[in-house]
């Protein structure tokens, strides 16, 4: 597996964990920047580290393919894109008015 894909997944595992920590009604849509790394790893059967598995809420021994499927599911369910400044939680209209 290409090192760049692994590095992307290390970053995304941390983002995914912080995104999932936000309550559903306050969480931004899954960010579009997850799309490319997810597509790159869909065929990767290599096992991830236990830390990466935990970041994606997957059991130890899961593959990059498994994590890619988690990301694809999150992306497929969204109906709008999140803005980078609204990740991992949505900005509320009241918060915007104060800026």
Q: What is the pTM (predicted TM-score) of this model? A: 0.78
Mapped onto helix, strand or coil, the DSSP state of residue 30 is: coil
Going by C-alpha positions, the residue among 88, 14, 8, 2 that lies closest to residue 57 is 14
Three-class SS of 53-83: HHHCCCCCCCEHHHHHHHHHHHHHCCCCCCC
Residue 8 pLDDT:
87
- For 6-34, the pLDDT digits (tens) are 888 889 888 899 889 988 888 888 888 88
Q: Flag whether pLDDT at 92 surpasses 70.
A: no
Residue 82 pLDDT:
63
Domain positions in the chain are 3-98
20-29, 39-48, 59-68, 90-99, range with the lowest pLDDT: 90-99
Q: Flag whether pLDDT at 94 surpasses 80.
A: no
Mapped onto helix, strand or coil, the DSSP state of residue 47 is: strand
Determine how many CB atoms are found less than 10 A away from the CB of residue 15.
16
Using only the alpha carbons of the chain, give its radius of gyration: 14
């Amino acid at each position: 597996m290409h090192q760049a894909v692994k590095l992307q997944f290390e970053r995304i595992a941390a983002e995914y964990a912080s995104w999932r920590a936000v309550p559903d009604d306050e969480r931004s849509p899954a960010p579009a920047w997850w799309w490319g790394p997810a597509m790159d790893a869909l065929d990767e059967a290599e096992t991830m580290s236990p830390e990466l598995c935990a970041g994606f809420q997957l059991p130890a021994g899961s593959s990059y393919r498994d994590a890619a499927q988690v990301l694809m599911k999150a992306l497929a369910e969204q109906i709008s894109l999140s803005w980078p400044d609204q990740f991992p939680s949505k900005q509320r209209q009241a918060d915007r008015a104060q800026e």
